[in-house]
Homo-oligomer: A and B are copies of this chain.
Amino acid sequence: RMPGEAGTTIHFVTGNANKARELAEFFASNPVPFNITPTSLDLPEIQGDPEEIAMYKCSTAMEKLQAPVLVEDVCLGFNALHGLPGPYIKQFLQKLGHDGLNRMLKGFEDQGAVAMCTVAYCAGPGGTPVVVVGKTEGKIVPARGPSSFGWDPIFEPAGSALTYGEMTPAQKSPFSHRHKALKLLRDHLLAAAAAPEGQSST
C-alpha cells in the first residue's frame, strides 16, 4: 500500500497505557480507515518547545520503524510560570506529586494552566510530518478524584466544576486536550485516505 492509503497500519508510539486507552476509545467512536495500533518504543525526548519535541519523536520513531507513525507530547503549562513545567510536567509530577505542584504556585496569584496535546503524524518514509495541537484552558487546584491518570486530579478545565480526575470518560471528552488534537488528526487522516500521497490524479 502507498503511504497514507486507506487500510494502512499506523503505529501509535507510546509507553503509556492510559494514553493508548484514550486513543483507542477516541477512534472507536470516531473511526478512520486505518489500523491504529499502540507500539511501545523507547525514544529519547528532547528538550524544547512542544512542536520541536513531537517532531523529533516522530522522525526518530519513523527512522526506527520505517512505517507510518503517530506520536504525541503532552504539556501542562502553568500561566504564572509562562507555560512551564510544560513538556517536563511528567518529571515534575513524579518528583513533587499533586501537592507539590500546587505548592509551586503558592507565590503567584494566577493559578491558571493550559493542558496541551501535540500530535505528530508521518505517513511513512519520505512523508512530511503533520503536527496538530489541542489545547484546554483551566486552573490548578488541590487534587480531587482518583489518582490513576497523571495530573488529571489537579486540573479543572474552564467551564467545569469537576477536575479531569473526577470526570467519567464521557464527561471528559468534550473538554479533553487530547480529543481536540485527535479530532484535527482525524480530519487530516480522512482527507489523506480520500487522496493518498502519490495517488493524486494529475
Residues of A with Cβ closer than 8 Å to B? 44-48, 56, 80-85, 87-88, 91-92, 95-96, 100, 102-108
Shortest Cβ distance from A82 into B: residue? B95
- Tell me whether B83 and A95 are in contact (CB under 8 A): yes
Query: Pick the contact of A107 from B45, B56, B92, B106 — CB < 8 Å?
Result: B106
Shortest Cβ distance from A77 into B: residue: B95
How many copies of this kind of chain does the complex include? Answer: 2
CB distance from A90 to the nearest CB of B (A): 9
- Sorted from nearest, which 4 A-B pairs have the closest CB atoms? A106-B107, A103-B107, A82-B95, A44-B46
CB atoms of A47 and B81 under 8 A apart: no
Tell me the bound Cα distance from A80 to B104 in angstroms. 9
Set B81, B83, B91: member contacting A104, Cβ < 8 A = B81
- Tell me which residues across on chain B come within 8 A of A102, comparing CB atoms: 107
**How many whole Å from A122's CB to the nearest CB in chain B?**
18
Contacts of A82 in B (CB 8 A): 95-96, 100
Q: A56 touches which one: B44, B95, B104 (CB < 8 A)? A: B44
Closest partner residue, chain B, to A44 (CB atom): B46
The complex places the Cα of A157 from the Cα of B75 at a distance, in Å, of 33
Contact of A45 among B47, B96, B100 (CB under 8 A): B47
Task: From known contacts A44-B46, A46-B44, A46-B45, infer whether A103 and B92 are also in contact, taking CB-CB under 8 Å.
Answer: no
